[in-house]
C-alpha cells in the first residue's frame, strides 16, 4: 500500500507529540505507573495504621507498673535502639499479632519521648 507524501510528516508529528506528551506527563504532570501508585497507596495505608495504633502502644507503656524507670532507660538508649527497646518490652505488639511491628515501635518511641519531654 502506498502512503500519500503529505501523510508521513503528519504521522511523524503525531508520534513525536505522543512521546513529548508522555515525557511531560510523567515528569511534570504527576502521572505514575500502576506499580508506583500501588507502592504509594501501600505506604499511605501503613502510615495510617501506624498513626492509629501507635497511641495504643503508648497506652501499653503507661500501663506498665515500671514505666517511670523504663522511661529513664528509653532516654538513655541511642536513637536507633528505641524501636528495639519498645519491641523487647512487648508494648508495640498488637493483640493477636505474633511479632511487634518495627515501624510502629519507632513511632511509639517518638510519641513517648515527645510526650514525656513536653511534660518535663
Amino acid 5: pLDDT: 84
Cell of 113: 519521648
> Full-prediction pTM beyond 0.85?
no
Hey, how many other C-beta atoms are within 10 angstroms of the C-beta on 35? 8
Express each pLDDT in 74-88 by its tens digit: 999 999 999 999 999
Q: Do 50 and 2 share a structural domain? A: no
Task: Please count the other Cβ atoms lying within 10 Å of the Cβ belonging to residue 70.
Answer: 17
Question: In terms of Cα–Cα distance, which of 79, 117, 81, 84 is closest to 100?
Answer: 84
Predicted confidence at residue 115, as pLDDT, reads: 80
pLDDT at position 4 is 85
Q: What is the pLDDT, as a whole number, of residue 94?
A: 81
**Res 120: pLDDT:** 52
Q: Are 61 and 93 within one domain?
A: yes
CA 44 vs. chain centroid, Å, equals 6
Same domain for 96 and 54: yes
Domain assignment of residue 12, given as a range: 1-31
Q: What is the pLDDT of residue 1?
A: 72
Q: Answer yes or no: do 14 and 55 share one domain.
A: no
Specify burial of residue 61 (Cβ count, 10 A radius: 0-12, 13-18, 19+): buried
112 in the same domain as 74: yes
Listed as ranges, residues in the chain with pLDDT below 50 are none
Give, as one character, the DSSP assignment of residue 92. T
Co-location of 12 and 39 in the same domain: no
Q: Do both 56 and 107 map to the same domain?
A: yes
Residue 9 shares a structural domain with residue 42: no
Residue 100 and residue 86 in contact, taking contact as beta carbons nearer than 8 Å? yes
Amino acid at each position: 500500500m502506498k502512503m500519500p507524501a503529505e501523510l508521513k510528516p503528519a504521522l511523524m508529528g503525531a508520534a513525536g507529540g505522543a512521546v513529548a506528551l508522555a515525557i511531560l506527563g510523567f515528569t511534570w504532570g504527576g502521572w505514575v505507573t500502576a506499580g508506583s501508585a500501588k507502592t504509594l497507596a501501600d505506604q499511605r495505608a501503613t502510615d495510617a495504621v501506624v498513626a492509629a495504633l501507635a497511641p495504643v502502644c503508648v497506652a501499653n507503656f503507661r500501663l506498665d507498673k515500671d514505666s517511670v524507670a523504663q522511661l529513664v532507660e528509653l532516654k538513655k538508649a541511642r536513637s536507633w535502639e528505641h524501636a528495639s527497646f519498645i519491641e523487647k518490652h512487648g508494648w508495640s505488639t498488637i493483640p493477636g499479632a505474633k511479632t511487634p511491628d518495627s515501624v510502629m515501635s519507632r513511632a511509639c518511641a517518638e510519641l513517648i519521648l515527645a510526650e514525656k519531654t513536653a511534660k518535663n
